[in-house]
Chains A and B, each alone.
Chain A
Amino acid sequence: MPGVNDFTLKIGTVNGTGSASANGLLMQAIFRMGIPVVGKNVFPSNIQGLPTWYEIRVNKDGYTARNAPFDLMVAMNTGTYKRDVAEIAKGGWLLYDSSWPLPKALHRDDITVLGVPLGEMCVETFGGDRERTLMKNIAYTGALVGLIDIDMDVVMGMLHEKFSKKKHLLDSNDKALRLGYDYVKKHFKCPLPIRLEKMDKTGDHILIDGNAAAALGCVYAGATVGAWYPITPATSLMENFNAYCQQFRVDKETKKKNFCIVQAEDELAAAGIVVGAGWMGARAFTPTAGPGISLMSEFVGLAYYAEVPAVFFDVQRTGPSTGMPTRTQQADILSIAHLSHGDTKHLMLFPANPEECFYLAADSFDIAERFQTPVFVLSDLDIGMNDWMCRRLKWDDARKPDRGKVLSAPDLEKIEKFYRYNATNGDGIAARTLPGVHPKGSYFTRGSGHNKLGGYTEDSDEYREVVDRIARKIDAAAESLPAPEIITHKGNTVGVITIGSARGAVMEALDRLRDDGLSLDYLRVRAFPFSKAVHDFVASHEKCIVIEMNRDAQLRSLLILETGVHGDRLESLLEYGGLPFGTGQIIAGIRGILEGVKA
Chain B
Amino acid sequence: MTSITKPKVQHPANLKNQIGRTRRDYEGSMSTLCAGCGHDSITAAFVDAFWQLDIQPHRVAKLSGIGCSSKTTAYFINESHGFNSVHGRMPAVATGANAANSGLYYVGVSGDGDSLSIGLGQMCHAIRRNVRMLYVLENNGVYGLTKGQFSASADVGSKSKKGEANIQSPIDPVLLALTLGATFVARSFSGDKAQLVPLLKAGLRHGGFALIDVISPCVTFNDHDSSTKSYLYTRQHYHEVASVDFVPLQREIRTDYAEGQRQPVMMHDGSMVHFRKLEANYDPTDRAAAIARVRSAQERGEVVTGLLYINESGMDMHAINNTVETPLVDLPYSTLCPGAAKLDALMEEYR
CA distance A225 to B101 in the complex (A): 10
Picked from B59, B99, B325, B338, the residue with its CB within 8 Å of the CB of A436 is B59
Picked from A275, A277, A396, the residue with its CB within 8 Å of the CB of B85 is A275
Residues of A within 8 A of B191 (CB): none
Picked from A207, A272, A434, the residue with its CB within 8 Å of the CB of B96 is A272
* Best-buried of B56, B80, B81, B340 by chain A (most CB within 10 Å): B81
Residues of A within 8 A of B56 (CB): 439
Beyond A258-B331, A276-B97, A397-B339, whether A447 also contacts B81 by CB under 8 A is no
B321 touches A257 (CB 8 A): yes
A400 touches B92 (CB 8 A): no
B96 touches A227 (CB 8 A): yes
CA distance A266 to B129 in the complex (A): 14
B324 touches A395 (CB 8 A): no
For the A-B complex, the count of residue pairs with Cβ-Cβ distances under 8 Å equals 212
Contact with B along A461-490 (1 / 0, CB 8 A): 000000000000000000000000000000
Residues of B within 8 A of A438 (CB): 58
Beyond A394-B343, A434-B329, whether A442 also contacts B85 by CB under 8 A is no
Residues of A within 8 A of B351 (CB): 31-32, 206-207
Report the stretch among A77-85, A96-104, A216-224 that lies at the interface: A216-224
Picked from A208, A266, A442, the residue with its CB within 8 Å of the CB of B78 is A442
Residues of B within 8 A of A396 (CB): 340
A340 to chain B, nearest CB (A): 10
Instruction: Check if A592 is an interface residue, CB within 8 A of chain B.
Output: no
A206 touches B347 (CB 8 A): yes
Picked from B58, B89, B95, the residue with its CB within 8 Å of the CB of A262 is B95
B-contacting residues, A552-570, CB 8 Å: none
A-contacting residues, B71-105, CB 8 Å: 73-74, 78-86, 89, 91-101, 103-104
CA distance A100 to B171 in the complex (A): 61
Instruction: Check if A448 is an interface residue, CB within 8 A of chain B.
Output: yes
B92 touches A395 (CB 8 A): no
CA distance A437 to B339 in the complex (A): 28
* B interface size (C-beta, 8 A): 60
A272 touches B58 (CB 8 A): no
Contact with B along A178-215 (1 / 0, CB 8 A): 00000000000000000000000000001110000000
Nearest A residue to B343, CB-CB: A395
Picked from A206, A272, A439, the residue with its CB within 8 Å of the CB of B95 is A272
* A interface size (C-beta, 8 A): 71
Nearest A residue to B348, CB-CB: A206
Instruction: Check if A2 is an interface residue, CB within 8 A of chain B.
Output: no
Residues of B within 8 A of A166 (CB): none
Instruction: Check if B5 is an interface residue, CB within 8 A of chain A.
Output: no
B100 touches A284 (CB 8 A): yes
CA distance A207 to B351 in the complex (A): 6
Beyond A257-B323, A442-B58, whether A272 also contacts B81 by CB under 8 A is no
Instruction: Check if A385 is an interface residue, CB within 8 A of chain B.
Output: no
Instruction: Check if A163 is an interface residue, CB within 8 A of chain B.
Output: no
A220 touches B321 (CB 8 A): no
Binding site for A on B (CB under 8 A): 56-59, 61, 63, 73-74, 78-86, 89, 91-101, 103-104, 121-122, 124-125, 129, 317-318, 321-325, 328-329, 331, 333, 335-340, 342-344, 346-347, 350-351
Closest 7 CB pairs of A and B: A272-B92, A276-B96, A282-B100, A273-B96, A206-B350, A280-B100, A435-B81
Further 15 A-B residue pairs, CB within 8 A, beyond A264-B92, A284-B100: A207-B350, A225-B96, A262-B317, A265-B125, A269-B122, A270-B92, A275-B96, A276-B96, A280-B329, A281-B101, A299-B86, A302-B85, A439-B57, A439-B79, A443-B81
